[in-house]
Chain A
Amino acid sequence: MPSGVRNPAVLCVLVLALGTVAVAAQKDRYLHIKVDDPAKGENVNVNLPLSMAEKILPTVNKGNLHEGRVTISNEDLDGVDLRAILDAIRTAPDNEFVTVKQHGQDVRVAKSNGNLVVHVREAGEGGHNVDITVPMKVVDALFSTAKKDELDVAAAIRALADAGDTLLVSVRDAAQHVRIWVDSRSSQE
């Protein structure tokens, strides 16, 4: 045994540190939504513990949502095979997959550091800047159901709770700034 560990004070610090890590690991994680409209002087903050969302979601059975899963109609998908696209992305290395540039709009979809990243840039005064970052684990969980026309939102929330602090969505235009992120703080301060 190293001499440092034999020291009771060091042992206490070690136990305390391990305890802190254990408590931190159990700490609830929160989904935050913040909408800022500086021009109107308005802002809306929403905070939701992910564990609560995880418990509530499976109890909601209304419309397309049932048992924590969302059914997507073929019309919504417009013939796009999302699973095939996801499989292709999952197996591909970090890269820029899609870059679409057209009049006033620049769309970039990429996989980077285990995240699916979408950037949309619209030129012009009222143009939107959209940044979406979703951990691939969350995307995988979303598509983890056996049915092709379903998304498992509850599983995605569970995966999100296990993921690190992440800024999921940022949408900014001339008037508003919307942000959605996950961290372990119960407030947005």
Chain B
Amino acid sequence: MILLGKIALGIAGTTVAGVSLLCSEGMIQVKVAEKRPDGHHIRVIAPALLLPIGMHFAPKDGLSEASSEIQPWLPTIRAALAKLRECDDFAFVEVNEPGRQVRLAKSGGLLVVDVNDEEESVHVSAPIRAMASAVEELAAAAPPIQR
């Protein structure tokens, strides 16, 4: 009985540790709500850690073109993301026009995009730290320079 208890405790501890690790980078959230009567409501919440891990194991061929394109801008993206993590919360861009509102903001450790128009509303939020990790994974997928 004690042995079973120890095993159960071990499993529970491992599960808690695994979940904690998975959630350590925060969560990526995507919400899409169509406004027509029978419209779809999609809500996806995933651990942000999966983003860089997924990119790490993704086929390099598929990422190499994007990786090559991003290379000249890497210092800029790195500087922007690093500074963004230090900044207070603020809205980068807010666009309001009849029938459409767009907002791109930093909120906590998250980068948040909200688009609300007559047809649907979209909310995407992603931890900045996970985005930085994903960018590094993308950068690493660049094909080697041939001499």
Contacts and interface: CB of A to CB of B under 8 A. Distances in A.
Interface of A: 28, 30, 40-49, 51-52, 55-56, 59-62, 186-187
State the main secondary structure of chain A at its contact with B. Answer: mixed
B93 A56 contact: no
Interface stretch (B17-25, B82-90, B121-129): B82-90
B76, B89, B98: most-surrounded residue (chain A CB, <10 A): B76
Contacts of A43: 94-97
Interface of B: 72, 75-76, 78-80, 82-84, 87-98
A59 B90 contact: no
B100 to A, nearest CB: 9
A52 B78 CA distance: 11
Given A41-B98, A42-B96, A60 B91 contact: no
9 contacts: A28-B87, A41-B97, A43-B94, A44-B93, A44-B94, A45-B93, A49-B83, A51-B87, A186-B90
A64 to B, nearest CB: 16
B80 A52 contact: yes
State the main secondary structure of chain B at its contact with A. Answer: mixed
A20 to B, nearest CB: 16
Q: Which 9 A-B pairs have the closest CB atoms?
A: A186-B90, A59-B75, A42-B97, A45-B94, A59-B76, A52-B83, A55-B79, A55-B83, A41-B98
Contacts of A30: 90
A27 to B, nearest CB: 8
A101 B55 CA distance: 62
Given A28-B88, A56-B76, A186-B88, A51 B94 contact: no
Contacts of A55: 79-80, 82-83
Nearest to A52: B83
A182 B87 CA distance: 16
A60 B76 contact: yes
Given A45-B91, A47-B92, A49-B87, A40 B79 contact: no
A42 B76 CA distance: 31
